[in-house]
């Protein structure tokens, strides 16, 4: 009846998860199931119709202070590349929403007092922070030309690609162990 929970190819599951993420109890339940979080992360990187629902679900989990640190270690790695999205379907500024949500507590990490379980997630957040600052500086007129900005962004991307190449790949089993 609910599709995607029993049938992984059905869109019903992602819709149900998104609905659950709209409630406090639902977010807490979803955040406690690592396989669901990984599935949302993988769907957020897809190009299918459910990508937006997965991103929205992850953002809801990340905005909630009770579930944020249960999912940020995994979600930051998957959402880091999506901060440059300008629009998705009919929603505009989706990249900005992802950036703001991921960085909402970054000052606690950057200036001490808080560390994530995953060093990779901290590095991903640092890259997002630096990219955001490069864009902000450009809009303030610090760079003389667009090419100066592009050079700086290319340098950041190069470091990000080197960092990603060093990371172990996250593998999720898709088989049902029933």
Q: In whole angstroms, give the CA distance from residue 119 to residue 122.
A: 5
What pLDDT score was predicted for residue 55?
A: 93
Q: Which pLDDT belongs to residue 108?
A: 80
User: What CA–CA distance (Å, rounded) separates 129 from 131?
Assistant: 6
Residue 172 within any structural domain of the chain: no
Q: Please, are residues 108 and 68 in contact by the beta-carbon 8 Å criterion?
A: no
CATH number at residue 140: 1.25.10
In terms of residue numbers, what domain contains 52?
3-166
pLDDT per residue as tens digits for the range 98-111 = 989 988 888 887 77
Question: How many domains, the chain?
Answer: 1
Residue-level pLDDT at 37: 94
Q: Give pTM, 2 decimals.
A: 0.71
Segment 112-150, tens digit of pLDDT:
777 788 888 888 888 888 887 766 655 555 555 556 656
132-156 burial code (b ≥16 CB/10 A, e <16): bebeeebeeeebeeeeebeebeeeb
Would 46 be classed as within a structural domain? yes
Residues in the chain with pLDDT values less than 50: 1-2, 171-178
The predicted pLDDT at position 174 comes to 43
Which residues have CB under 8 Å from 157's CB, separation 6+? none
């Amino acid at each position: 009846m609910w599709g995607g929970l029993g049938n992984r190819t059905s869109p019903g599951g992602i819709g149900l998860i998104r609905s659950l993420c709209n409630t406090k109890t639902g977010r807490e339940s979803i955040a406690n199931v690592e396989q669901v979080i990984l599935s949302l992360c993988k769907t957020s990187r897809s190009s299918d119709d459910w990508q937006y629902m997965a991103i929205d679900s992850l953002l809801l989990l990340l905005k909630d202070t009770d579930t944020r640190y249960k999912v940020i270690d995994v979600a930051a790695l998957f959402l880091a590349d999506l901060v440059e999205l300008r629009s998705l379907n009919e929603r505009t500024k989706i990249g900005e929403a992802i950036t703001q949500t991921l960085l909402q507590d970054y000052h606690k990490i950057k200036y001490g007092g808080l560390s994530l379980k995953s060093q990779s997630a901290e590095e991903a957040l640092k890259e997002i922070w630096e990219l955001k600052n490069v864009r902000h500086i450009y809009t303030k007129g610090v760079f003389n030309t667009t090419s100066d900005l592009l050079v700086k962004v290319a340098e950041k991307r190069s470091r990000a690609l080197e960092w990603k190449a060093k990371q172990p790949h996250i593998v999720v089993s898709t088989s049902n162990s029933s």
